[in-house]
Amino acid sequence: MFSFFKFLQNSLKNIKQKKGLWFTILAVLSIIGIFLSLYLLTHMTDNASKEVYNSISTTYQKNFKNKVNDKERDFDRIILTVLANDNLITNVETNNLVAVQNEITKYNESLQKSGSNSLNINFYPILNQVNQYRGSVNSVINSKNKAFGLEVLLDGIYFVYLQPIIKNDILIGVLELKEELHTLKADYANENSIFLFMLEERLLNKLSIQARNGKYREVLEEMHVEEQKYDGQFFAKIIENGKELYKQMIEVGYSVDDEYFRSVQKVSDINGNIIGLVVLGQTVADSGAFVNIVDRMTKMVTTVALGLVISILLFMF
């Protein structure tokens, strides 16, 4: 071991005596050091950017879940108000459907006057039932438990709240409160964000012909969007980016390009079945957009760190 170190010491001494070779070696090592440092810094800042984007995407997803939970609480309060109407409950119990419908109509008119134009209340009679109801209503009838979630109905995609009416432990009817999903678009617009829902192709046949024909457009991978209700430039950019970037977005949960940041998540209906994707995003055109802030920060860190590395290497000369 001692002889090895002695050999290195002698070799280094001989090289230093040859000034041209010595400075050439230092120059080569400096250049290698600069490029290695640049690679490491770029790799580190890219990872940091990905962590930031992933964190923002998670925040978007939590925000959507919070909005859905808020929606359920709002629906619950409205339904409790209806259930407190003794006249309505009495008419349901006596199967006076005309009177019940009149009461329901009054509630819907009141909701419209208060600015809640998208909300609508319906009633499903159980006593002397004539019509066949859809699966979610039948589930509430069988379980006697309330249910809330998204549903693809004949006239669109809705948040639906189903409340059984029980009198003396007997189920006498079901109340339904519903609101179209796309109303969330306005909520997100107020937050300078973009909201988009894409429906799986297999569920298009649940919509009526009038509700789907000429209104839905395929985006990618058998996902469809109702064109007139959402930002055309937002989903057009997804199409433009192509299938590979789309698959990558689904896999990691977000995507960033020269125009938008997007966070994507799968959504289930009231029965727990996946029906499509919610895509939330923000334009990067604004200099105050977080994507640009992250980009400026990473570039600044890289520039400063690279400057320090070069200064240290030059100092070695």
Do residues 26 and 316 make contact, with C-beta atoms less than 8 angstroms apart? yes
The SS3 of residue 210 is helix
Residue 69's pLDDT is what? 95
Report how far residue 163's alpha carbon sits from residue 276's, in angstroms, rounded to the nearest whole number.
25
The SS3 of residue 151 is strand
pLDDT surpassing 70 at residue 287: no
pTM of the model: 0.77
Tokens 């790799």 locate to: 43
Q: What is the dihedral of CA 177, 179, 181, 186, to 10 degrees?
A: -140
pLDDT tens column, 166-225: 988 889 999 999 999 999 999 999 988 999 999 999 999 999 999 888 889 999 888 999
pLDDT surpassing 60 at residue 17: no
Give alpha helix (H) positions in 144-191.
Answer: 184-190
Of 4-18, 154-168, 278-292, highest mean pLDDT? 154-168
Give mean pLDDT, residues 245-260. 89
Domain 85-181 has CATH 3.40.50.970: no
Neighbours of 295 (CB within 10 A): 15
Burial of 225-237, coded b for 16+ CB within 10 Å and e otherwise, reads bbeebbbeebbeb
Residue 283's pLDDT is what? 85
Do residues 235 and 220 make contact, with C-beta atoms less than 8 angstroms apart? no
Report how far residue 79's alpha carbon sits from residue 140's, in angstroms, rounded to the nearest whole number.
15
Neighbours of 40 (CB within 10 A): 12
Question: Position 280: which residue type?
Answer: L
Tokens encoding 4: 């090895």
What backbone phi and psi angles, to 5 degrees, belong to 168?
55, 45
pLDDT tens column, 158-169: 999 999 999 888
Tokens encoding 6: 């002695």
Report how far residue 211's alpha carbon sits from residue 151's, in angstroms, rounded to the nearest whole number.
14
Name the burial class of residue 80, with classes exposed (0-12), middle (13-18) and buried (19+) by CB atoms within 10 angstroms of its CB.
exposed
Name the burial class of residue 281, with classes exposed (0-12), middle (13-18) and buried (19+) by CB atoms within 10 angstroms of its CB.
buried
pLDDT surpassing 60 at residue 48: no
Give mean pLDDT, residues 81-105. 92
Tokens encoding 276: 């499509």
Name the burial class of residue 57, with classes exposed (0-12), middle (13-18) and buried (19+) by CB atoms within 10 angstroms of its CB.
buried
Q: Domain limits of the chain?
A: 85-181
The SS3 of residue 166 is strand
